[in-house]
Structure 1
Amino acid sequence: MGKKSEHVPDPGEKSGISRRGLIVGSGTAAVAAVLSGGGAASAATPRAAAGRGHTAARSAQPGGAGEDILFVNGRIHTFDDNDSVAEAVRVRGGRFVAVGQDAIREGNARNRIDLGGRTVIPGIIDSHNHIALVANRPGHWVGLEDVFTHEDAVARLTAKAVAVPAGELVTSLGPIVAMQFPSNTLPNLTMLNAVPRPVMIMAEQGGNAVNQAAVDYFAAKGITITINAAGYPTGAGVGLALQRLRQEMTPEERERNALAALEYYAGLGITTHLDEGAFHVDTPGTAIWNENAYTLHNGFLALNRAERLPARIRFDYLEEDSTAELPRLTARLKNSFPFYGSDMMRSGGIGEFTVNGFGGGAVAIGGEIWIAGAKAVARAGWRNENHSLSAGDIAQIVAGWEAVHAEVPISDLRWVVSHVPNITADQVGRLKAMGVGLKVGWGPTRNGTNLGPRHRMIIDSGIPVGYHSDGGDITAINPWLNFYTMITGKNLRGNFVWEPGQQVTREEAIRLATKDNRWFIREDDLGGIQPGNHADLVVLDRDFFSVPEEQIAATRSVLTMVGGDVVHTTGDVAGAPAPGTGHRYAEA
């Protein structure tokens, strides 16, 4: 988003642009308005309805407009230009205004919060996931990526169930992976029978699970779920159940679960998501990765209109044309703007497919159509992202983009290849020469085989590199699971999956997910704790940089701040403002 402003707001000044106000984005001509699914939110839009979780109580309290928040006595890993570690940081009007002793010297703050020596990092940016798919899960959704025993999973589901009306369904429909559990299996029917509501789990890796109440629940809808001897569903029943649930979903349910998903991941430290869409279906399907691409973000749009988003949403447009006319891509490039919206919700580029098919597109429709699509994106001046799953994919992408670049230079467009498990040093060099970036992080949590890229080779090459999970439809979003695999070279079962020496350090893992991801979202005022940046930070429950390796995956947030507002707290940081009471809500 251009060069970061050095302006430090005065007390009482609202830094940045209000979500009701106009924005001017670089990367396109001056563009104004707030994404709202049809128009800007009016002043009369209700901010929150009672009974919708901890975001409901919104009133002017400490941390409101003009009131500083001063965090002291912490180990604050700033990931600023010098990667310094500070003991204090001051927040005003949604921005960091001073760090270290400068933050203390500015004087008293009504909110002076003692971190008690805790570790703080910038808000985590997941630069490629499928959070919108998670936001469209039916039922009363529960996140389970941070539990590691069957007993804890059942306890989490039970805690949700007691707040759910009798007879209604509790779900955890991805992301969850069976490798989280020592048995490499999900809880089975007998275990889940302890939950006092119907329960349905669909794991992205490791099968599905239900309890008897869910079997009965779907039987009443005419859907049979068959249970095998081990206590797990078998056959097409669970897919058909998912399809029926999607057919019955209401807009209110989508909004509720969009909020639940974002709040869950705020508890794991993610403050910005770049969503990469879904495989399009016009009507509800049976697969966990299918959704209607044109209504996919409606839950987020509703939250944005009501000023209730607890995390920043960025999204790319996944395109699936399969004919030479490129009808969908052509219409998109003519009628949409890249990087359009507000600080809290903004569009991006084309991705993770340029046209229908994996990688370059040759598998599905032939390289010529894919090349034509890539040229169209280049001519329009848009960012473009493709993914690579195989040696054939990455070879085609490199050669194809070189052909595009020779005709329409892409050096300044920040094109991206994600996943890259089989990329070679030669291919990295060729992509670097075109100004292309790479995303890493996805890999061994998927199924435990050698799917991880050669991180050390890629980072040492000097090519732009950022972190992504790719979670939501095929793997986990939880960053700490992915950091564990990147740092140790092991999958969640403890097996080595990469060649020695290709792992990253703990500092590199966080840098890839914060400071380095600014390049990929084109926003220089995120990803670091330094004056002028948006005040996105995470207070961790342990010192990630020194705990034993086996504790890395269990890391969580005790307090998460987005734009100077606390969006998640466990209550362990005494004196912190309550969620929904910060500067954005001071006028409520």
Structure 2
Amino acid sequence: MDESDLIFINGTVLTMDDEAPTANAVVVRNEEVVYVGETEAALAWKQKQTEVIDLAGKTLMPSFIESHIHPSIYGLTLLEVDCKPTATPSIAAITEKISEKAADIPEGKWILGWGWDDSKMVDKRNPTRWDLDQVAPNHPVVLKRTCAHMAVANSKALELSGISENTPNPEGGNIERDEQGRLTGLLQEKAQGLLKAPKYGPEDMAKGMKLAQEQFAAWGITTVHCMSTQTADLQLYQSLLEQDELNVRVRPWMWAIDQNGFDGSMEEVLTVGLRSGFGNDMLKIQGLKFMLDGSVGGKTAAFSEPYLSTQETGILYNTVEEVAPLMKRGIEAGLRIAIHAIGDRAIDVAINSYEQINETTPIKHMRNRIEHCIFPTTKQLRQMKEHELMAGSSIGFLYHIGDNYLAKLGEERMKHAFPHQSFKQAGVIAPGNSDLPVNDGNPWMGIYAAVTRKTANGQVTGSEEKITVWDALKAFTTDEAYSSFEEETLGIIKPGAKADLMVLSQNPLDIDTEQLLDMETEATYLAGKKIFSKSTTRKGGSIVQ
């Protein structure tokens, strides 16, 4: 018998394979799973150099895949002022942090921050340029909201960016003004692209990405779909791969057109002939990413009916006539499409665009996607199934910002948000995600929300859309792998699959659902190599082994 590298015994193995869901032992050789079954048979593979891992009753399962995050952006946020509600629960706390940062750097140097969320701060309002001016009048300051669809800038940043009361709103964006017509400092959607904050360099990006990878490993995540890949991002991932410092599989979706401050690369991608699937097991191109609407938090997601107590229905970036021809060019060139659509009005444009393309160019085999896809109607679900479209479901939103959604949309509409049971009944594959750094990237929070339909404040909405723990786990493993045509090798434990594995503190199928939030990763393996161990990681120390 061939020699083996690792043998896991004495635990519960959740394979995520519906045909053989559980086992007692797993054998890994040359980065792949070669045997799944019983302990005695597994130990027959043992050779002198084999490491036998006694799980001591713990649970082994495939490591997580994240279908929609922004890895390099998340890495850079780890270098910025932390304005998340856990760190800055009030505007006063934000300004205190900005004041401290301003005292540490020369006047005129930009201060960048990330993560404020008015819905979770005691003030229940957005920070303004005047708030920031009080503590940093001589430093340009830009703080992005957690949703990434809005940013607040102080007067110095607005001045250096050439933004004044006379600056017109860009198409698809809004420069907020108060009742007197004065700039508040808030820039929404495409208006953020007017800011002239300095770009990060390659060294900054590499530093941030290394920090991000450590957190991915601690969460048990070994594959991530980068949903806003630009030139610098792709260069970063390739550079880390060349240096043998890429410790997470990356699946890039190239940002298609200039939007929201991001530079589109569709023309260049088409010119060089890049196709979906190009790359290797660590770095593999997925396709093109488009964007149709904004966010619920900023009331810019596009709905048919207005937000509560308003006449606002959100911002629709493009019509079918505008976006469908662009999508079609990508599809005809062999590139899959992922298109951001949160509200039903945006989802309509996405589906109608796909339908129009399918009239002349078959798309059903491609596993094209609608990102977030939070509020599809019953009709839209049928249309998605008809064209074999996938829903990149941001189920993590329900836990993290579901309370804000309820306040802006109401209970009736929220009953049908993140409809995972309806996805299942309609036959629509819906891999889950957090949209990190928009929200915390811990997959267990999304799994918990899918199973309980509870928000962070304990509100329950749309109980009929609950799914089982098993199905929720599949949303972050096998369904995710299906999304990239890798269901035979990722997100599953069976012979021939990559040995991307994690050891859990408990069996998620055997605990009270409330305990899902407390699940911890004991160890994470990428291709059979241990990249995280809870027992050997010191606070403040490196996670990657």
Q: Is the CA contact 2:139–2:156 (under 8 Å) kept in the aligned structure 1?
A: no
> Do the aligned partners of residues 399 and 136 (structure 1) sit closer, same or farther apart at CA in structure 2, a change above 3 Å counting?
same
Deviation, structure 1 residue 246: 6.7
Q: Within 2, Cα distance between the matches of 1:440 and 1:412?
A: 20
2:272 aligned with 1:307, yes or no? no
Partner of 2:429: 464
Summarize the alignment of residues 16-165 of structure 1 with structure 2, pairs less than 5 Å apart: 68-101=5-38, 102-108=41-47, 110-137=50-77, 139=79
2:287 aligned with 1:349, yes or no? yes
TM-score normalized with structure 1 length: 0.67
Deviates most, 352-361 or 200-209: 352-361
Partner of 2:371: 418
Deviation, structure 1 residue 103: 2.0
Q: Is the CA contact 2:368–2:389 (under 8 Å) kept in the aligned structure 1?
A: yes
* CA distances 1:380-424 after superposition (whole Å, capped 9, x unpaired): 232111122111111222222212111111111111112222212
Partner of 1:236: 153
Q: Secondary structure at the match of 2:491?
A: coil
Q: Secondary structure at the match of 1:317?
A: strand
> Do the aligned partners of residues 184 and 83 (structure 1) sit closer, same or farther apart at CA in structure 2, a change above 3 Å counting?
farther
Q: Within 2, Cα distance between the matches of 1:312 and 1:390?
A: 30
Q: Within 2, Cα distance between the matches of 1:245 and 1:73?
A: 57
2:352 aligned with 1:399, yes or no? yes
The residue type equivalent to 1:256 in the other structure is K
Deviation, structure 1 residue 563: 0.7
Partner of 2:474: 511
Q: Within 2, Cα distance between the matches of 1:406 and 1:477?
A: 38
Summarize the alignment of residues 524-539 of structure 1 with structure 2, pairs less than 5 Å apart: 524-539=488-503
RMSD over aligned Cα, in angstroms?
4.1
Q: Within 2, Cα distance between the matches of 1:135 and 1:517?
A: 22
Q: Within 2, Cα distance between the matches of 1:518 and 1:219?
A: 46
Q: Secondary structure at the match of 2:492?
A: coil
Q: Within 1, Cα distance between the matches of 2:91 and 2:502?
A: 30
Q: Secondary structure at the match of 1:465?
A: coil
Partner of 2:463: 500
Partner of 2:420: 455
Q: Is the CA contact 1:388–1:418 (under 8 Å) kept in the aligned structure 2?
A: yes
The residue type equivalent to 2:516 in the other structure is I
Q: Secondary structure at the match of 2:355?
A: helix
Q: Within 1, Cα distance between the matches of 2:142 and 2:285?
A: 40
Deviation, structure 1 residue 296: 2.8
Match of 2:401 among 446, 458, 461: 446
The residue type equivalent to 1:429 in the other structure is R
Q: Within 1, Cα distance between the matches of 2:114 and 2:155?
A: 8
Deviation, structure 1 residue 475: 2.6
Q: Within 2, Cα distance between the matches of 1:547 and 1:191?
A: 42
Deviation, structure 1 residue 224: 7.2
Q: Within 1, Cα distance between the matches of 2:543 and 2:463?
A: 43
Deviation, structure 1 residue 111: 1.0
> Do the aligned partners of residues 460 and 186 (structure 1) sit closer, same or farther apart at CA in structure 2, a change above 3 Å counting?
farther
Q: Is the CA contact 2:477–2:491 (under 8 Å) kept in the aligned structure 1?
A: yes
* CA distances 1:70-120 after superposition (whole Å, capped 9, x unpaired): 111111101124242122111111111111223233235631111111122
Q: Secondary structure at the match of 1:222?
A: coil
> Do the aligned partners of residues 426 and 248 (structure 1) sit closer, same or farther apart at CA in structure 2, a change above 3 Å counting?
closer
Summarize the alignment of residues 252-263 of structure 1 with structure 2, pairs less than 5 Å apart: 252-263=203-214
Match of 2:387 among 429, 434, 437: 434
The residue type equivalent to 1:491 in the other structure is T
Q: Secondary structure at the match of 2:517?
A: helix
Q: Within 2, Cα distance between the matches of 1:512 and 1:235?
A: 35
Partner of 1:29: none
Partner of 1:483: 447
> Do the aligned partners of residues 295 and 489 (structure 1) sit closer, same or farther apart at CA in structure 2, a change above 3 Å counting?
same
Structure 1 residues without counterparts, runs of 5 or longer: 1-8, 12-66, 142-170, 227-233, 279-292, 582-588
Deviation, structure 1 residue 136: 3.0
> Do the aligned partners of residues 200 and 318 (structure 1) sit closer, same or farther apart at CA in structure 2, a change above 3 Å counting?
closer
Q: Secondary structure at the match of 1:98?
A: strand
Deviation, structure 1 residue 351: 1.4
Q: Within 2, Cα distance between the matches of 1:458 and 1:426?
A: 12
Deviation, structure 1 residue 559: 0.5
The residue type equivalent to 1:403 in the other structure is Q
Structure having greater relative contact order (Cα 8 Å, sep ≥ 6): 1
* CA distances 1:41-81 after superposition (whole Å, capped 9, x unpaired): xxxxxxxxxxxxxxxxxxxxxxxxxx511111111101124
Deviation, structure 1 residue 471: 2.2
Identity within the alignment, % = 22
Q: Is the CA contact 1:535–1:562 (under 8 Å) kept in the aligned structure 2?
A: yes
Q: Is the CA contact 1:88–1:100 (under 8 Å) kept in the aligned structure 2?
A: yes
Q: Within 2, Cα distance between the matches of 1:247 and 1:131?
A: 19
Partner of 1:6: none
> Do the aligned partners of residues 437 and 327 (structure 1) sit closer, same or farther apart at CA in structure 2, a change above 3 Å counting?
closer
Q: Within 2, Cα distance between the matches of 1:86 and 1:252?
A: 44
**Which structure: greater helix fraction?**
2
> Do the aligned partners of residues 532 and 187 (structure 1) sit closer, same or farther apart at CA in structure 2, a change above 3 Å counting?
farther
> Do the aligned partners of residues 570 and 245 (structure 1) sit closer, same or farther apart at CA in structure 2, a change above 3 Å counting?
farther
Q: Within 2, Cα distance between the matches of 1:441 and 1:328?
A: 25
* CA distances 1:399-451 after superposition (whole Å, capped 9, x unpaired): 22212111111111111112222212222122211122222233322352246
Structure 2 residues without counterparts, runs of 5 or longer: 105-110, 144-150, 162-194, 295-299, 304-313, 407-413
The residue type equivalent to 1:437 in the other structure is M
Aligned length: 446
Partner of 2:226: 275
Deviation, structure 1 residue 129: 1.3
Match of 1:265 among 216, 231, 241: 216
